[in-house]
Each structure stands twice: as structure tokens, then as C-alpha cells.
Structure 1
């Protein structure tokens, strides 16, 4: 009988010890849950801050490209200098777009990429934003030629614009007037486009 009482007491002590350990585990677990919640909140805050920084950097990059245009399809010479690229762009402006090149100041013109089967695009930075806008208004005169003029955007914006192309084509097939402005698709019905 004494053995049975001792075993019962040992079991009771063991159970009390286990309950104490379990209480400690619950306390530690509760503290860990709180720490995890705080870490999740910190990560969310940091992710928001990183996204904000990425957006600001992208904005600054696009602002630095504000006066740029990309001329694609102009004949390429393998060892073309910046000066030669500028002359070729001015020839397009004068002969194809019928613009007075004496009034347009080019800050810099250079080829982008490596020589290959196709002509490398020429990135042109104009001194004045209004020159860039004037060239874009006249770009429709290039229709039917192998030369294209596009605005120069950051990689992030170029990807967004590329992703919008299927929706742009679909809207045009439905008879809507559609174009991409910066990184947004603008759609209107033909009847409201002139309003």
C-alpha cells in the first residue's frame, strides 16, 4: 500500500511538474507569437517603404528621360560615333518630318545595344521638352517607313506598357479609340473621342 501511495505521489508530482512545464511552454509560445506578429508588421512596413523607394527611383529615372526619344530603324554603321548618330537623326527630322533642324537642339544622340541583324536604336536627348513634343506630333509622317519614334521610359514602365498591348489591340478591334499614355490604357468610344 505504501508503494502505491508513493507511486501516486510520484505521479502527482510528475503531473504538477508537467503542468508547470506546459505553463512555461505556453508563456514562451505566447511571447513567440507576439514576436512573430511584430516581425510580420515590421516586414510589411519595410515592404511598403521599399515599394515607395522603388516608385520614387522609377519616377526620378523617368524624369531624367523626359526629353528623350528613341529612333528605331535608322541605318546603323558598326563604328558609328555620337556625332554621326546625331547627323542621321537630324536628316530624319529634316527630310521625313519636315522640321527645321536649326531650331532643334540635340544634347546627345547615341546607339543602344550591340550591332546585329537589325539597326540599333538611337537614344536622343533633346535640350528642350517642347522639341520632343513637336517631333512626336510629326511622327505620323513616318507611316510606311521602317523608322519609328518612341518615348524613352524606364524598364519598369516599358514592361507595364508592353503588358497593356493586348488590351489596346482588343479595344481597337471593338472600334474604340485607344492609346497608352505613360503606363495607363486610355479608351474612349469613337463618338466621345472628339468631345
Structure 2
């Protein structure tokens, strides 16, 4: 068998070159591994941040639900308070623009109301004498201004505080309120008393009632609800 040629054996230069190429590949692999490790860390950090965001979103959603529940509870509580207040003043009527006399006492105010019911609301004196009031008083503080000679009737009326009359019996209140139609065209008015928030809403609703009637639709207000053609309007 023929012997191997010396030219078939790798020289030292070949070995050195081969080792150099292997070293370069190892370095490239090491760089690639480091880039992969860095990328994995970024992915891990990103995943952690996503979990934090998810956690924050969950907490925010929970907070929103709690706030919505509190808002509903607050609205319900306000409705309950308004209802209780309405019941407490259920027997009340407000008499407006009735002239106020000097040094008017509560007893005098009651006398003025009784005379007004007879003369202006056309309720018989016998019926009015039988009515019982729990309290009759002027609203607010007395204004010390006196009407000047150049004052208009509207300006003078504004100086007269309204009268709140609390009837002992609801039937008597309704008798008087029902006769308030006799005040049409006069400067006087008689109206039910409501909590401030309900009264403000009713004023807004009555503007809508006027618009609906101009459009030839039946509309009215009951307590704090607008009715159009017999149906309650929730968003009024």
C-alpha cells in the first residue's frame, strides 16, 4: 500500500487558520446569544409592564363601577330626601303678592290669609272659619324698603314677602288650591310648596309644557315628572 503523501497532512498554518475561523464563529455565536438574552429580558420587562397595565385597568374599572354605584346611591338619597321634604310640606300652600302691613304679626298674617281666601278665592266665610292652620308666616326676612312714588306695581309687589300657610287638613288645602283659578288675570297667585330642587325642576318642565301645548300636544307636570300625551318623559 502506497504511503500517504506529506502534502495530505495539515500544516501548522492550516490549523492556526482553522482555529481562527472557529474562534470567530464562537464570538459571533456569543454575540447572538447576548442579543437573544437582551431581547428575552426586554420581553420579560414588557410582559411585566403589560401585567401592571392590566392590573391598573382592572383597578380603574373597579373604581369606575364603585363611583357609578355611589352616584346612583347619591341620586337615590337625594330623591328620598326630596320625597320626605315634600311629605313634610304636603299641606302647605304659598300665597304670593299679598300686601304686607307694617309690624305684621303671625296672627295678623293668618287673618290676612283668611280674608284673602274669602274675598279672592270665593270660599265661603263659614268654610274658612272652620279651617285650621298649623302655621302661617311670611317667607324670608322683612324688607325695610318703602315703595317710592315712581315705583311700578311689579316693583311694589316684589317687596311683599310670600306667605306660607300650613293647613291642618289636606282636604282644606285642596279646597283652597282648587279655587285658585279665581285669581286668573290678577296679580296674586296660590301654589303648592315643593323642596327647592323640585321647584327648580318644575319651573323648567313648565317651559316645556308651554312648548308642547303650542304644538297642540297634551302636556302637564305632576310633582317632578313631565307627561306628554299621557306618557311620562324620563329625560325631560
TM range (shorter): 0.7 to 0.9
Please show how residues 105-184 of structure 1 align to structure 2 within 5 Å. Answer: 105-114=132-141, 115=143, 117=155, 118=158, 119-174=160-215, 178-184=219-225
Q: Deviations over 1:48-80 (max 9, x none)?
A: 111111111111111111000000010024643
CA RMSD of superposed structures (Å): 2.4
Counterpart position of 1:58: 82
Q: Secondary structure at the match of 1:98?
A: coil
CA spacing shift, 1:187–1:31, aligned 2, 3 Å: closer
Larger radius of gyration: 2
CA spacing shift, 1:24–1:170, aligned 2, 3 Å: closer
Q: How many residues align?
A: 189
Using structure 1 for the length normalisation, give the TM-score: 0.84
CA–CA distance in 2 between the matches of 1:8 and 1:174?
80
Using structure 2 for the length normalisation, give the TM-score: 0.71
Q: How far 1:101 sits from its partner (Å)? A: 2.0
The answer to whether residue 17 in structure 2 is matched with residue 17 in structure 1 is no
Q: Secondary structure at the match of 1:125?
A: strand
**Where does structure 2 lack aligned partners over 5 or more consecutive residues?**
1-23, 146-154, 231-236
The answer to whether residue 129 in structure 2 is matched with residue 102 in structure 1 is yes
Q: Secondary structure at the match of 1:70?
A: strand
CA–CA distance in 1 between the matches of 2:119 and 2:229?
34
CA–CA distance in 2 between the matches of 1:167 and 1:42?
35
CA–CA distance in 2 between the matches of 1:186 and 1:77?
41
CA–CA distance in 1 between the matches of 2:57 and 2:222?
47
Moved over 6 A (4+): none
CA spacing shift, 1:23–1:174, aligned 2, 3 Å: closer
Q: Deviations over 1:99-129 (max 9, x none)?
A: 3321111111111134264111111111110
CA–CA distance in 1 between the matches of 2:229 and 2:47?
66
CA–CA distance in 2 between the matches of 1:172 and 1:27?
59
CA spacing shift, 1:44–1:176, aligned 2, 3 Å: closer
